[in-house]
Amino acid sequence: MTNSRTAWGVVAAGALITWMAMGALLSLPVFLAPMAADTGWSRGGIGLAMTLNFLSMGVASFVWGGLSDRYGPRMILAAGVVLLGVGLALASRSTSLLEFQLIYGLLIGVAAGSLMVPLMSTVTLWFDRHRALAVSLVSSGIGVAPMTVSPFAASLVVTHGWRTSQLILAAAVVVLLVPAALFVRRPPHMPAAAAAGGVGGPELKAAARRTLRSRAFIVLSLTFFACCATHAGPIFHTISYAIGCGLPPMTAVTIYSVEGFAGLMGRLLFGVLGDRLGVKRMIVTGLVVQALAAGSYILASGLGDFYVVAFVFGMAYGGVMPLYAALARDYFPPQVMGTALGAMTLLSGLGMALGPALGGWIYDHFHAYTFMYLGSLAVGLGAGAIALALPRVRTHAPGAPLAAAT
């Protein structure tokens, strides 16, 4: 497939969207302690908002993914960006924990679900060679966000409080990302189903059913679920854990930044190695390293310890996450990539949903995060074991029939 300037332009627009949108969405860990102190809301209650967010994001991703197969990504992304900005603005005005949970957990989750799946599925259609690198670059914005958006949000909180800070992030999302969303498009030779030259509705539905029942989809989705269940808790709660270990809040936020920088490096490294050594091999390797790093947080006490663990942990989970889309493109037909990735994201969202709420519950009851990190270690090793059952890759040519790997 073409590696034209348009294809790499789509990658650049996607990276910008993931950077700002996910940076704003995942700024909640930075706001966690100030929000609890300002409002009296429990950490578990605030964490539940993120749990609801991941759940609704997963469900919405499945819906948005199917719509992107049928209508293309452009208007879906633009609508999602606007909805995300509105949701962040409304959340900043919340007067009760329940109101915040509903807005952040449901409205913002639905908005965020419209972004990653249409982006990733569209980018996989532009590339045969360098596909793992391309999807890794799109997701690199998530790695850049903790180094840029998170410190920016932390500095805003110090001077303006969490409410105004979240409102500023909402405005930035809309202003920066609507133009980027309007640039993203499918390759001309692979139009959306509803466009001229697209596949018919019955064919698309039949292919989607075959895909969702295939062994490749089931195993890859279970791996994705366990992977996200491994890192969700540590990502959300490590800043608070570090503060509990005696680090100043602004210093603790830098751990998140180190994790983000490592995630960026991991995305680039795993993307290149995935194209050269095989995507499945790199997924298994990254899952094992991620599990061991998550468990190692219980050994950290000083800032240097946190930096080392955060770097390894961030590189592992950051490197692995984009590779699911690259491997899915090898297993599933291109015409239903949005549906396949949306369904995978739905299951991964369930895994992500466990971390914030369960980690908050553990802290509220045991006043420590030890059991959360040990649980992440066990689940992460299980994810690596599941990935070993992935079937041999079966590729599809651009015009291949609508069939799925078994």
C-alpha span between 156 and 31 (Å, rounded): 10
C-alpha span between 340 and 405 (Å, rounded): 12
| Alpha-carbon separation of residue 311 from 82, 132, 231, 353 (angstroms) | 33, 21, 13, 23
- SS3 category, 2: coil
CATH of the domain at 284: 1.20.1250.20
Residue 332 maps to a domain: yes
- Which residues span the domain enclosing 32? 5-185+207-387
Residue 403 maps to a domain: no
Residue 77 maps to a domain: yes
Residue 199 maps to a domain: no
Residue 294 maps to a domain: yes
pLDDT top residue among 395 and 243:
243
Residue 70 maps to a domain: yes
C-alpha span between 184 and 368 (Å, rounded): 44
Residue pLDDT, tens place only, 202-235: 777 788 888 888 999 999 999 999 999 999 889 8
- SS3 category, 182: helix
Number of folded domains in the chain? 1
DSSP characters for 306-338?
Answer: HHHHHHHHHHHHHHHTTHHHHHHHHHS-GGGHH
| Alpha-carbon separation of residue 292 from 289, 346, 352 (angstroms) | 5, 26, 18
Residue 239 maps to a domain: yes
C-alpha span between 217 and 227 (Å, rounded): 15
**Burial call 43-62: b when 16+ CB within 10 Å, e when fewer:** bbbbbbbbbbbbbbbbbbbb
C-alpha span between 4 and 141 (Å, rounded): 21
Residue pLDDT, tens place only, 30-82: 888 788 888 888 877 887 888 788 788 888 988 898 888 888 888 899 999 99
Residue 393 maps to a domain: no
pTM: 0.74
Ramachandran region of residue 42, left (φ > 0), alpha (ψ -120 to 50) or beta?
A: beta
pLDDT band at residue 401 using 50, 70 and 90 as cut-offs: very low
Give the rounded percent of residues in the chain with a pLDDT score beyond 90: 33
The structure tokens listed for 268 are 């680039």
